[in-house]
């Protein structure tokens, strides 16, 4: 059995162990593969209104191809801003990735309102198969080491958001047996000619439309259009207010948007938990952080 056949078999087994009523369907490579393997009854896709979100187009193609009931929802900027305190309260973070989390929150909320009790996500595929552009730039040996360390420290917001909303999250790519298998795949097969997730794409290229198999990786916030929130929120903070507070608190804000999220965090969560004696202290906010990433403020260390 060649590596592509092994990958398909292992992922199919992981899906069987992690079955769900539905799927968060972005129309990207990872959720499209899971949809093809699992054939769930329903797929959920959300996007920021008037954002020309690419997820709506690609997810519709997959849903039609597989005969999946497709439930879509577009949320307004005002709804996103109104939801921020709840999302920040659940995740206890002021990470600049919050627009990603808002999209996931709205999708899970739509699933719950539709009577769904469990939902499948594509979490872990990018981390295991080098789906992010910065990973494709690493030498193979360093990439293999980085992926292994990531697998020991990763964290996905869908789990906390799902618990808060009463929806069980199923993540086949994070299945322990599949993770062990994926970690043993050579880094040279994960990135080829600058293309990340190469072996994952090749394993399913004869089953899924090429425009989806070879679709360039887009963060959730881009695919859902919520990246527009960065500019909107940044413009809502006056320079004077930003500078005044930045000079008073012991936090190294990345920009005004970062400060905006912290201000909400300060109201709904409160103090930042200081690093314990056995933890690395985040140089940005002082909280305890993992090897690469601070879950409280979103600060990221150099990869290697």
On whether both 124 and 177 belong to a single domain, the answer is yes
Structure tokens at 291: 């090897």
On whether both 275 and 152 belong to a single domain, the answer is no
Which pLDDT belongs to residue 225?
A: 59
Nearest CA to 191 out of 124, 123, 141 is that of 141
On whether both 159 and 277 belong to a single domain, the answer is no
Distance in angstroms (rounded) separating the CA atoms of residues 172 and 175: 5
On whether both 70 and 183 belong to a single domain, the answer is yes
On whether both 136 and 113 belong to a single domain, the answer is yes
- The full length of the chain comes to 304
Task: Please return the burial class of 277, using the count of CB atoms within 10 Å of its CB with bins 0-12, 13-18 and 19+.
Answer: exposed
Which pLDDT belongs to residue 50?
A: 78
Three-class SS of residue 281? strand
Examine residue 133 and state whether it is found in any structural domain, yes or no.
yes
Examine residue 275 and state whether it is found in any structural domain, yes or no.
yes
Q: Choose one of 174, 193, 227: the last residue of a domain.
A: 227
Which residues, 6+ apart, have CB-to-CB distance to 25 below 8 Å?
31, 32, 35, 43, 44, 45, 59, 62, 63, 68, 70
Per-residue DSSP letters for 69-118? EEEEEEE-HHHHHHHHHHHHHHHT---TTHHHHHHHHHHHHHHHHTT--E
Structure tokens at 111: 């699933």
Do the bridges between strand 22-24 and strand 42-48 make them parallel or antiparallel, or are there none, so unpaired? parallel
Residue 14: pLDDT above 70? yes
Contacts 24+ apart (CB under 8 A), 204-209: 204/8, 204/29, 204/33, 204/36, 207/36, 208/29, 208/32, 208/33, 208/36, 208/62, 209/61, 209/65
Residue 51: pLDDT above 90? no
Q: Which 8-state DSSP code applies to residue 52?
A: -
Which pLDDT belongs to residue 230?
A: 86
Which pLDDT belongs to residue 220?
A: 52
Examine residue 27 and state whether it is found in any structural domain, yes or no.
yes
On whether both 201 and 168 belong to a single domain, the answer is yes
The more confidently predicted of residues 189 and 153 is 189
On whether both 199 and 267 belong to a single domain, the answer is no
Show the domain range for 242.
236-289
CATH code, 196: 3.40.50.620
Domain count, the chain: 2
| Range of lowest pLDDT (31-35, 72-76, 112-116, 164-168) | 72-76
On whether both 213 and 245 belong to a single domain, the answer is no
Residue 217: pLDDT above 80? no
Q: Choose one of 177, 193, 227: the last residue of a domain.
A: 227
The more confidently predicted of residues 226 and 104 is 104
Examine residue 212 and state whether it is found in any structural domain, yes or no.
yes
Contact of 87 with 98, CB cutoff 8 Å: yes
On whether both 113 and 262 belong to a single domain, the answer is no
Which pLDDT belongs to residue 292?
A: 82
On whether both 33 and 148 belong to a single domain, the answer is yes
On whether both 240 and 222 belong to a single domain, the answer is no
Which residues, 6+ apart, have CB-to-CB distance to 1 below 8 Å?
9
The whole-number average pLDDT for the span 107-124 is 97
């Amino acid at each position: 059995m060649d590596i592509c056949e092994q990958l398909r078999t292992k992922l199919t087994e992981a899906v069987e162990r992690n079955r769900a009523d539905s799927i968060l369907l972005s129309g990207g490579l990872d959720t499209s593969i899971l949809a093809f393997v699992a054939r769930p009854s329903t797929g959920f896709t959300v996007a920021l209104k008037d954002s020309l979100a690419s997820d709506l187009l690609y997810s519709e193609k997959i849903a039609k191809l597989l005969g999946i009931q497709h439930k879509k929802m577009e949320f307004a900027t005002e709804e996103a801003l109104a939801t921020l305190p709840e999302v920040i309260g659940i995740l206890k973070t002021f990470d600049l990735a919050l627009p990603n989390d808002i999209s996931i929150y709205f999708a899970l909320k739509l699933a719950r309102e539709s009577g769904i009790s469990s939902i499948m996500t594509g979490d872990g595929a990018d981390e295991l198969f080098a789906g992010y552009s910065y990973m494709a730039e690493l030498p193979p040996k360093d990439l293999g080491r980085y992926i292994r360390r990531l697998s020991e420290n990763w964290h996905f917001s869908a789990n906390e958001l799902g618990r808060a909303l009463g929806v069980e999250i199923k993540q086949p790519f994070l299945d322990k047996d599949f993770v062990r298998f994926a970690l043993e795949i050579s880094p040279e097969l994960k990135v080829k000619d600058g293309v990340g997730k190469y072996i994952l794409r090749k394993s399913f290229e004869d089953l899924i439309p090429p425009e989806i198999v070879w679709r360039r990786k887009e963060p959730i916030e881009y695919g859902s259009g919520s990246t527009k929130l960065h500019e909107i929120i940044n413009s809502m903070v006056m320079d004077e207010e930003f500078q005044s507070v930045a000079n008073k608190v012991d936090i190294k804000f990345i920009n005004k948007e970062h400060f905006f999220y912290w201000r909400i965090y300060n109201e709904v969560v409160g103090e930042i938990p200081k690093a314990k004696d056995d933890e690395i202290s985040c140089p940005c906010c002082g909280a305890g952080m993992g090897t690469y990433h601070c879950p409280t403020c979103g600060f990221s260390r150099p990869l290697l």
